[in-house]
Amino acid sequence: MRTIIEPFRIKMTEALPITTPQQREEKLAAAQHNVFLLNAQDITIDMLTDSGTGAMSAKQWGALMVGDESYAGSTSWQHFEQTVRDITGFTHIFPTHQGRAAERILASTRLKAGDIVPNNSHFDTTRANIEYTGAKAEDLLTSEGEDLYSMHRFKGNIDLEKLERIITENKGRIPFAMITVTNNSGGGQPVSMSNMKAMKALLTKYNIPMVIDCCRFAENAYFIKEYEPGYQDKSLMDIAREMFALADAATMSAKKDGLANIGGFFACHNEQWAEDFRNLLILTEGFPTYGGLAGRDLEVIAVGLREALEYDYQRYRHATVEYMATRLSEQKIPIVLPAGGHAVFLDAAGFCPHLSAADYPGIGVVNSLYLEGGIRSVELGSVMFGRVDAKGNETPAPRELVRLAFPRRVYTQSHFDYVIEVLTQVWQQREQIPPHRITKQAPFLRHFTAHFAPMAQSKAQKKAV
């Protein structure tokens, strides 16, 4: 059959708020033109993130009911540990309340000022946790990965030449190197098995441990199965195991491919790493058999990790992203290609050639999508990544992207058709997208709380369209 259907039926529904254009205008103004400040009940389709926003299966809801809330050694912990070990093969496994808690403890136990941690691209919490220790987080994407429109299939690959250079120039200063699968910051792009194998060989030569940020490991396994020669006949579980066998440790946010609403873990082989991690975990997260989670959360993750590796689920998930990317590309709407695993990324600079980076085109697109159809997306451009110096001068981000993330198992085909229709409408009226100015901002992570004001367009801007 050509039609790839959602491999589930729906047993419980949740009403979607349907709003009028006037209501949306009022709500957005009240939220200071920042969609982070909107209330959920004012949003029709929420594509702000794929993190913790998925729908649980009947099996997960069932598992939740048998959650064992014993403080130490609960049966739910045992299910969790067995599942994570079965998939990853790691010796030591520690639950955490989410991915960034695993990152924080790893960074604070292994890094010091002056150290360097290479990665294909660090996610912002990973970077922040590394840099908080005084170490430096380096992104080493390949040139194809940096090119928004290159059709290379594995644009998440780490550049091995850059990696070797950084290692030889900084001997003794790299306690570990990371690889993020899929590469969220770079558009949800996958990393090939051969790239990870070559990375491992290089790191082994210099005796540097390899840590996988494995939030979307199952989506990455699907890309390998579909597109990397030699993997077509392997199961997603086999591919995941092969990938984890390369690593010395992993950090995980179970809010992604754990198909859970909360949770994460750290896993490793090294005894000393485990010992140091455990001590800090007890101090800040909880006893090592629950690590900041309820027993029921551990049960839910144990089931979710296996469901994420089901081929039919991944095939449907990738088909939804692919479907939207194809429809948008047909209309020449500028998006990052090929489509990533968990989101469609719009190129807001290409969308709004009449706006400069200082006009925050990403905010213009995000707000237009909300006003047009009640869709919430997120800017990944100069508001999120631009650097502001002490005098208030701004250096724009290298790219102006807008991410429409796909919550797992939440929306159906007609929801995506609706999103495509809204996007088409905004695209056709793109010259009306206004510049925005920041009227209030915090000194760091300003995108969450900034206040914006849409500005009238100048004649010159209108003419440029």
Characterize the bridge pairing of strands 249-253 and 264-268.
antiparallel
Distance CA(345)–CA(422), nearest Å, equals 15
Nearer to ligand F0G, 98 or 368 (CB): 98
Question: Could you say whether residue 99 binds ligand F0G (CB under 6 A)?
Answer: yes
- 264-268/92-96 β-pairing: antiparallel
**Per-residue CA distances from 182 to 40, 205, 221, 334, 352 (Å):** 28, 25, 9, 21, 28
DSSP state of 411: -
Helices 236-245 and 75-88, axial angle in degrees (round to 10): 80
361 SS3 class = helix
Instruction: Output the six-digit token pair for 293.
Output: 């989670």
Give, as ranges, the residues between 345 and 364 that touch ligand F0G (CB under 6 A): none
Looking at the Cβ atoms of 281 and 352, the one nearer to ligand F0G is 281
Q: 336 phi and psi, to 5 degrees?
A: -70, 130
**Judged by CB under 6 A, does residue 376 bind ligand F0G?**
no
Smallest separation (angstroms) from ligand F0G to the CB of 453 = 26
Tell which residue, 64, 134, 38, has the closest CA to residue 366: 38
User: If binding is defined by CB under 6 A, does position 119 make contact with ligand F0G?
Assistant: no
139 forms beta bridges with 119
Minimum distance of ligand F0G from residue 427's CB (angstroms): 24
Nearest to 241 by CA among 309, 188, 147: 309
Candidates 77, 94, 123, 416; binder of ligand F0G (CB under 6 A) is 123
Give the count of residues interacting with ligand F0G (CB under 6 A): 15
Question: Residue 142, interface with ligand F0G (CB under 6 A)?
Answer: no
> Judged by CB under 6 A, which stretch of 94-102, 226-234, 241-249, 316-324 contacts ligand F0G?
94-102
CB of 331 to ligand F0G, least distance (A): 26
Which residues, numbered 153-182, are part of the site for ligand F0G (CB under 6 A)?
180
User: Considering the complex, what minimum distance in angstroms separates the CB of residue 399 from ligand F0G?
Assistant: 16
- Cβ count within 10 A of residue 85: 14
Phi, psi of 47 (to 5 degrees): -115, 30
Question: Closest distance between ligand F0G and the C-beta of residue 257, in Å?
Answer: 10
Q: Does 100 bind ligand F0G (CB under 6 A)?
A: yes
Q: Confirm if 33 and 440 have CB atoms less than 8 A apart.
A: no
Binding region for ligand F0G (CB under 6 A) out of 93-101, 139-147, 156-164, 295-303? 93-101
Among 125, 329, 424, 441, binds ligand F0G (CB under 6 A): 125
Report in angstroms how near the CB of residue 282 gets to ligand F0G at its nearest: 20
Helices (H), 206-245: 217-227, 236-245
* Nearest Cα to Cα of residue 317 among 343, 295, 297: 343
Q: Which of residues 248 and 359 has its CB atom nearest to ligand F0G in the complex?
A: 248
Q: Which residues pair with 272 in a beta bridge?
A: none
Q: Which pair of tokens denotes residue 27?
A: 């709500």
Q: Which of 84, 215, 274, 324 binds ligand F0G (CB under 6 A)?
A: 215
Closer Cβ to ligand F0G, 255 or 436, answer by number: 255
Q: With binding defined as CB under 6 A, does residue 314 bind ligand F0G?
A: no
- Residue 352 or 384: the one with the smaller Cβ distance to ligand F0G is 384
Q: Are 242 and 194 in contact (CB under 8 A)?
A: no
Using rule CB under 6 A, residue 190 touches ligand F0G: no
Q: Which stretch binds ligand F0G (CB under 6 A): 122-130, 134-142, 273-281, 305-313?
A: 122-130
Nearer residue to ligand F0G within complex by CB, 264 or 295: 264
Interface region with ligand F0G, contact rule CB under 6 A, candidates 121-129, 295-303, 307-315, 406-414? 121-129
Which residue from 19, 98, 119, 320 is in contact with ligand F0G, where contact means CB under 6 A? Answer: 98
264 binds ligand F0G, rule: CB under 6 A: yes
Please spell the DSSP secondary structure of 292-353, one letter per residue: T--HHHHHHHHHHHHHHT-HHHHHHHHHHHHHHHHHHHHTT--B-SS--SSEEEEEHHHH-T
Decide: is 83 part of the binding site for ligand F0G (CB under 6 A): no
* Spatial contact of 213 and 181, defined as CB atoms under 8 Å apart: yes
Measured CA angle at 156 (ends 153, 160), to 5 deg: 105
Q: Is 126 in the site for ligand F0G (CB under 6 A)?
A: yes
Closest residue to ligand F0G, Cβ-based?
99
Name the strand (E) or helix (H) holding 143.
helix 143-146
Least separation in angstroms between CB 393 and ligand F0G: 29
Write the CA distances from 17 to 41, 43, 84, 308, integer angstroms.
Answer: 6, 6, 37, 29
Candidates 329, 146, 318, 290; CA nearest to 226 is: 318
Q: How far is the CB of 95 from ligand F0G (least distance, A)?
A: 12
Q: Does the protein bind ligand F0G through residue 51 (CB under 6 A)?
A: yes
Residue 253 engages ligand F0G in binding (rule: CB under 6 A): yes
Give the nearest distance from C-beta 103 to ligand F0G in angstroms.
7
Chain contacts with ligand F0G (rule: CB under 6 A): 49, 51, 98-100, 123, 125-126, 180, 184, 213, 215, 253, 255, 264
